[in-house]
Amino acid sequence: MKIRKFLRHKSASQKHSLWLTQAYIDGKWLDAANGAKFEVRNPANLEVIGSVPDMTVDEAQRAIDAATKAFYAPEWKFITARERSQLLKNWYGLIAQHGAELADIITAECGKPLSESREEVAYGSSFVEWFAEEARRIDGQIIASSMANQEILILRDPIGVVGLITPWNFPMALVLRKAAAALASGCTVVAKPSEDTPLTSLALAKLSEWAGIPAGVFNVITSNTAPPIGELFCSSPLVNGISFTGSTEVGKHLFRQSAGLLKRVSLELGGNAPFIVFETADIAESVKGAMVSKFRNSGQTCVSSNRFYVHSCIYDTFVEQLKAQVEALKIGPGQDKEVQIGPLINAAQLKRIESFMKDARQRHTRILCGGKQLADKGPLFYAPTIITDVDRTARIYREEVFGPVIVLAKFETEDEVVRRANNSLRGLAGYFYSQDLQQVFRVARQLEVGMVGVNVGLMSQAEAPFGGIKESGIGREGSHYGVDEFTEVKYICLGGLKYD
Ligand code: ADP
């Protein structure tokens, strides 16, 4: 197939820097109309690494208008699924080609170790690759009608313009997981990244431009004041769907705001993942799983394990091995090669963890290691911590820590631990280690979460549906379910057919 001229990507070997400080609306690189900017800082040392436009609802409206125009433009609406797929492949190729620079940007603005940023580039771009493939298989159906002279045709239509709001902990992967599915479905996008990490999204926008994705199809606006923009996304009849990842509180707020227009809303919110180690578990493996599940991005991920339950008969061995590994973690700025634990994202996050720990201390919690800020490393570092004997009313036990703190508890029976694990309003991820096949099925079925990791501490991948139940959200991202959030089922009844 010949790719139409306007779809060819501009140049696969652009040499421009991806450190950009203007927003991207309708294929143009823009400042805020009033000239306002806000600073982006490296959380490892709080140095300013860039200033980006502090846009208002006026620019958000402009981006929505551009996305609406682009949605109906023949260059987007009438291209084939194969051409859409090709554009996403172009984008994927460019992201891979510029992976090292993208990883530097992620580490600079989000603080995670460079090795994790590289993993995020691979993980994030895998959604673009996956949805480039899925774009060609968003199929309809023909259903047998009960009427002799009719056919029932089912089409999958794109929902239209989608507003994306994303957090700072995966500045690349969360934008791409949403945007790639939306574009594969034929939607157009206005993305509003976190005020802490806007630079990665701007770099992705530049690569989308080079990839040949038409003007207005993928827009990125930057702003230091999210609420009015969120309100506009929810109240504008031109925005057909909202896809949000972030706190449960803001997710609920957006859901309420979208009720007026019965808007499509998909929400990936906070978790409170249990991590259970049964008596048959391979202890070394479970410690390895605990480390990766807890300490990735300094514990600042929504699928991080939050409540650790270890069977009493292996508890001491597990704790001894875990403590040795936690104490060996290398802490420092993400740019340093050996570093495994970077800073927290901002002062609010540090304050939150300190207040959790203060509350825990007042309830006679035992601190096995850590439990303090590491001011000598930088303003936002917190020591990897293990605490035990935690009162079940402690905030750190009930709420998502979102930091490098392991909360350990003993249990005696399977029934007891499943009840304790499910005793949460959240239901995103859950993990357990067991070599007992019967128990594996029993417990996996009983855990009230959207995703279960069995003998594994890290399970996210493009092929699998990511999402939660209860207050952890609505909808699924990635996998072939991912396009459901961005498509409508349309029924066409074809009548008057003469078959005899
Ligand atoms: P986190 O605690 O992970 O920063 P938030 O839910 O506060 O989670 O932020 C996630 C994203 O939501 C960010 O892009 C932020 O700017 C945006 N946001 C925060 N408050 C609102 C709001 N009221 N309406 C819309 N977006 C918001």
The 10s digit of each residue's pLDDT in 182-218 is: 999 999 999 999 999 999 999 999 999 999 999 999 9
Determine the pLDDT at residue 5.
53
**pLDDT for res 1:** 42
Nearest CA to ligand 1 atom 23: 227
Q: What is the pLDDT of residues 331-385, one digit of tens each?
A: 999 999 999 999 999 999 999 999 999 999 999 899 999 999 999 999 999 999 9
* Nearest protein Cα to ligand 1, atom 22: 227
pTM metric for this prediction: 0.96
Find the residues whose C-beta lies inside 6 A of ligand 1.
Answer: 165-168, 192, 194-195, 226-227, 230, 246-247, 250, 253-254
List the residue whose alpha carbon is closest to atom 2 of ligand 1: 247
Closest by CA position to 95, among listed 7, 210, 222 = 210
What does the pLDDT read at residue 500?
Answer: 80
* Residue-wise pLDDT tens digits, 223-244: 999 999 999 999 999 999 999 9
- By annotation, the residues acting in catalysis are 268, 302
| Å from CA of 83 to ligand 1 middle | 34
Tell me the CA–centroid distance for residue 250 and ligand 1, in Å.
6
Ligand 1 center to residue 412 CA distance, Å?
Answer: 40
Annotate 253-271 with three-state secondary structure: HHHHHHHHHCCEEEEECCC
Could you tell me the pLDDT band of residue 96, with boundaries at 50, 70 and 90? very high
**Residue 233 alpha carbon, nearest atom of ligand 1:** 25
pLDDT at residue number 277? 98
Q: Which atom of ligand 1 is nearest to the CA of 167?
A: 10
Q: pLDDT band for position 81 (50/70/90)?
A: very high
Closest to 303 in 3D by CA, of 475, 107, 105, 170 = 170
Residue 2: the pLDDT is 47
pLDDT of residue 11: 46
* Nearest-CA residue for atom 27 of ligand 1: 226
Ligand 1 atom closest to Cα of 223?
A: 16
Q: What is the pLDDT of residues 394-447, one digit of tens each?
A: 999 889 999 999 999 999 999 999 999 999 999 999 999 999 999 999 999 999
Instruction: Give the model's pLDDT for residue 48.
Output: 98
* Separation of CA 234 and ligand 1 centre (Å): 14
Dist. CA 247–CA 226, nearest whole Å: 13
What integer pLDDT is reported at residue 392 of this predicted model? 86
* 244-275 per-position pLDDT tens digit: 999 999 999 999 999 999 999 999 999 999 99
Pairing mode of beta strands 469-470, 426-427:
antiparallel
Give 282-332 pLDDT, tens digit per residue.
Answer: 999 999 999 999 999 999 999 999 999 999 999 999 999 999 999 999 999
Per-residue confidence (pLDDT) for residue 499, from 0 to 100: 87
pLDDT in tens, 19-65: 999 999 999 999 999 999 999 999 999 999 999 999 999 999 999 99
Mutate to test the pocket of ligand 1, among 55, 194, 221 (most ligand atoms within 8 A of CB): 194
Mutate to test the pocket of ligand 1, among 56, 164, 165 (most ligand atoms within 8 A of CB): 165
pLDDT in tens, 105-132: 999 999 999 999 999 999 999 999 999 9
Query: Which residues on neighbouring strands pair with residue 473, listed in sequence order?
Result: 268
